[in-house]
Amino acid sequence: MADYDVIVIGSGPGGYVCAIRCAQLGLKTACVEGRETLGGTCLNIGCIPSKALLHASHQVHEVHENFSKMGINGVEPDVDWTQMKSYKDDVIGQNTKGVEFLFKKNKVDWLKGWGSIPEPGKVKVGDEIYSAKNIIIASGSEATSLPGIEIDEKTVVTSTGALELDAIPSEMVVIGAGVIGLELGSVYARLGTKVHVIEFMDGVTPGMDAEIARQFQKILTKQGLEFTLGAAVQSVDTSGKKAKVTYKLKKDDSEHTVEADTVLVATGRRPYTDGLGLGDLGVEMTNRGQIKTDDHYQTNVGGIYAIGDAIDGPMLAHKAEDEGMAVAEILAGQAGHVNYGVIPGVIYTHPEVASVGKTEEQLKDEGRAYKVGKFSFMGNGRAKANFAADGFVKILADKDTDRILGAHIIGPMAGDLLHEICVAMEFGAAAEDLARTCHAHPTYSEAVREAALACGDGAIHA
């Protein structure tokens, strides 16, 4: 008899959700985690701590920008960085302990230590070897750096070090205008740091709907972030008092240097599969270092599955969670499935940016006939009352059938607003379906309805 029906390696959002669902579906399940707390990158050094710092720094921004406009005077924030970090650590603790509680509640065994797979059907943790009918790898990802740039997590940091800086820097260079660079760049800009973002491509957040990306860059520039686009960072020299970042502009090959106390390298992440023993097992990998799987998350080795950042697709916690639930259902004999056409993406800056489905550029490339419904938060009463009228909702719908193909929002609570559109897309809804749904007044969500109306006979408040 095998010790377990399922052993999940890694307890990030992919792994822990998968383990809980396996247990709920009657499979005897364990989850291997070597970190001292459960929850993986997301809960310990990623999504959750960064959201705590984004929340705290946003309050500072509100005091500076908007309090006096509302007649609240005499508030001068005195930021206690040590306390802000300890608030963030407390939030992490509440979340990681929450997962531990859920494991106990669902009878998932936590096998403490780093796991490896000595042979199919076996998982080694420390000196112990456990047998499992199925092994699910949910080992996540790690930050990448650029050739020749050494990360010390003090002066030259990844997102991990950026959450733990000893002091708020006076100048920070951010390499990469992707999600991490802009979220953490925003945190420090709001706390008074002069933030300079250097990006290789000609726009921020490559791959995002271009109209939204342009507006996003404009708003962030207004908030004090400086951008150098079309620039490839060459080196970072940390031998002096300040770090010197050298970059080359693509347009004329000219070389420039900028100094900073802290350099945040946010140039992407790669799958983390070290120490699992996949090479010896003959598990097939892609040329991008991802574990190759079929539609059922099965690798080429029987009984070994993989999900989340370690396989193909966007490196997003919720994509990993959905894959975790799908593979659990498949192993329990159900029809687990993920709809990759409706995976939302959110950037938690202020305003937030949220996207689902196709961008306008993708629809053009596909030669698809589409229509655009747009609505600015300037026409939304609630947004105006809350100093949150920067931004707009954009819905892309099929020109003939009106079916929603994509949606992109920059504005207040965009990440939450997006989900009514996600649900609509799951049901194959038309923009008119959203437009005919009564939306409470005054809410931000009225802007979504107005954008849907704009796909038809027109918005009311535009």
The residue ranges that bind ligand NAI (CB under 6 A) are 146, 175-181, 183, 198-201, 206, 232-233, 266-269, 314-316, 346-348
Q: Which of 256, 296, 441, 461 is catalytic?
A: 441
Q: What are phi and psi of 400, to 5 degrees?
A: -90, -45
**Between 134 and 139, CB nearer to ligand NAI:** 139
Alpha helices (H) along 223-351 = 278-281, 317-331
DSSP 342: G
Shortest distance, CB of residue 182 to ligand NAI, whole angstroms? 8
Q: Is 232 exposed, middle or buried (0-12, 13-18, 19+ CB in 10 A)?
A: middle
Strands 171-175 and 194-198: parallel
Shortest distance, CB of residue 52 to ligand NAI, whole angstroms? 13
Dihedral Cα 196, 200, 201, 204, nearest 10 deg: -30
Query: Tokens at residue 129, please?
Result: 């070897």
Shortest distance, CB of residue 8 to ligand NAI, whole angstroms? 21
What CA–CA distance (Å, rounded) separates 32 from 243? 39
Q: Is 337 a catalytic residue?
A: no
391 within 8 A of 408, measured Cβ to Cβ: no
Shortest distance, CB of residue 207 to ligand NAI, whole angstroms? 8
**Between 187 and 421, CB nearer to ligand NAI:** 187
- Verify cis geometry, omega within 30 degrees of 0, for the bond prior to 351: yes
**Between 115 and 406, CB nearer to ligand NAI:** 406
Q: Is 287 exposed, middle or buried (0-12, 13-18, 19+ CB in 10 A)?
A: exposed
Shortest distance, CB of residue 309 to ligand NAI, whole angstroms? 8
Beta bridge partners of 356: 407
**Between 149 and 304, CB nearer to ligand NAI:** 149
Task: Please give the positions annotated as active site.
Answer: 441
